[in-house]
Amino acid sequence: MAGGLVGGYGTCTAMGARYLFPAQPRALAWVYAARVADIAVGASIAFRAPTGERIAIARQDELGGADDFVALSSVCPHLGCQVHWEPQNDRFFCPCHNGVFTPKGEAVSGPPAEAEQNLSRFPLKVEGGLLYIEVPVEKLSGTETRLVQVDPDCGERLA
């Protein structure tokens, strides 16, 4: 009986460790997000990465570079609710438990602030008037990376 318990719990522990500490880091790639001219200062767009992650991209300035924008996870780190940009309040807001985040994604009130949980940030770059975001992509095997075609207007996968 003791051997069965050790074997069962050992297998569960090994599976949990592989989940928490993957053998290989996630593959990243630059993906088209939007045309710079299509996003007004103070506005935001919803973007979905090829892996399904939801990202909010907000334009906060009009200097002409990637520093004008911020790309943050749209998922609240507290309970996974949908976070949205409120330009009138200059903040990201989670309606589930009134979580408030600064324009840079730092938690300032609500349960995320109490737990010191900030929104994940994604790198951006601007080339030729187009905005690109660096996001995780799907791995097929070994070092081969597959880029999934994404609709530039809504971020949904194409066939």
- 4-58 pLDDT, tens digit each: 877 788 888 878 877 777 677 778 999 999 999 999 998 989 999 988 889 999 9
> Is 25-146 a domain of CATH 2.102.10.10?
yes
pLDDT 10s digits, 54-110: 999 999 888 878 999 999 999 999 888 999 888 889 899 999 989 999 999 999 999
Mean pLDDT within 116-135:
94
Task: Judge whether 59 and 39 are in contact, CB under 8 Å.
Answer: yes
Task: Judge whether 116 and 105 are in contact, CB under 8 Å.
Answer: no
Task: Judge whether 57 and 47 are in contact, CB under 8 Å.
Answer: yes
Single-letter code of the amino acid located at 79: L
pLDDT of residue 108: 95
- Domain locations along the chain: 25-146
Strand ranges across the sheet with 84-86: 84-86, 91-94, 99-101, 107-109
pLDDT 10s digits, 126-152: 999 999 999 998 755 554 445 555 555
